[in-house]
């Protein structure tokens, strides 16, 4: 699970406490990610590549780290995948969130 150094919890309730239940949590599997990306849009995504802008608000290190980890891992699969980072003020970030703009937003008309 955690390279023999521990276990990956399935939720926030500690094992052994009442109400602890195992729940689904995704596995880190870059081979599966690559397979899905190769099949996306009938293979065109893998052939042409893409550019995506990932945005997060200032002061939220966890969002910045999550965006960076995702970008680095997916960009490592092929040189055709590009990621840009956009840092928003808290008010702009939550305004986009309230208007149901996805936090990981595609940039239109920028396919390689």
Residues of the domain holding 73: 49-106
What is the DSSP code string of 52-112?
EEEEEETT-HHHHHHHHHHHHHHHTT-TTEEEEEEEE-HHHHHHHHHTT--SEEEPTT---
50: part of which helix (H) or strand (E)? strand 50-57
Report the C-alpha gap between 31 and 41 in whole angstroms. 18
Tens of pLDDT, residues 9-18 = 666 666 677 7
Tens of pLDDT, residues 70-109 = 889 999 999 999 888 888 888 887 777 676 655 544 444 4
Q: Is 89 among the domain residues?
A: yes
Q: Is 39 among the domain residues?
A: no
Q: Is 77 among the domain residues?
A: yes
pTM here is 0.61
Query: Domains in the chain: how many in total?
Result: 1
Which residues does residue 54 pair with via DSSP β-bridges, in sequence order? 85, 104
Q: Is 59 among the domain residues?
A: yes
């Amino acid at each position: 699970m955690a390279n023999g150094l521990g276990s990956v919890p399935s939720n926030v309730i500690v094992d052994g406490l009442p109400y602890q239940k195992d729940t689904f949590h995704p596995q880190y599997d870059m081979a599966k990610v690559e397979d899905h990306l190769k099949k996306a849009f009938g293979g065109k995504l893998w052939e042409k590549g893409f550019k995506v802008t990932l945005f997060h608000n200032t002061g939220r290190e966890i969002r910045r780290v999550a965006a960076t980890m995702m970008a680095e891992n997916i960009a490592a699969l092929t040189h055709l995948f590009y990621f840009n980072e956009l840092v928003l003020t808290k008010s702009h970030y939550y305004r986009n969130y309230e208007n149901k703009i996805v936090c990981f937003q595609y940039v239109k008309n920028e396919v390689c």
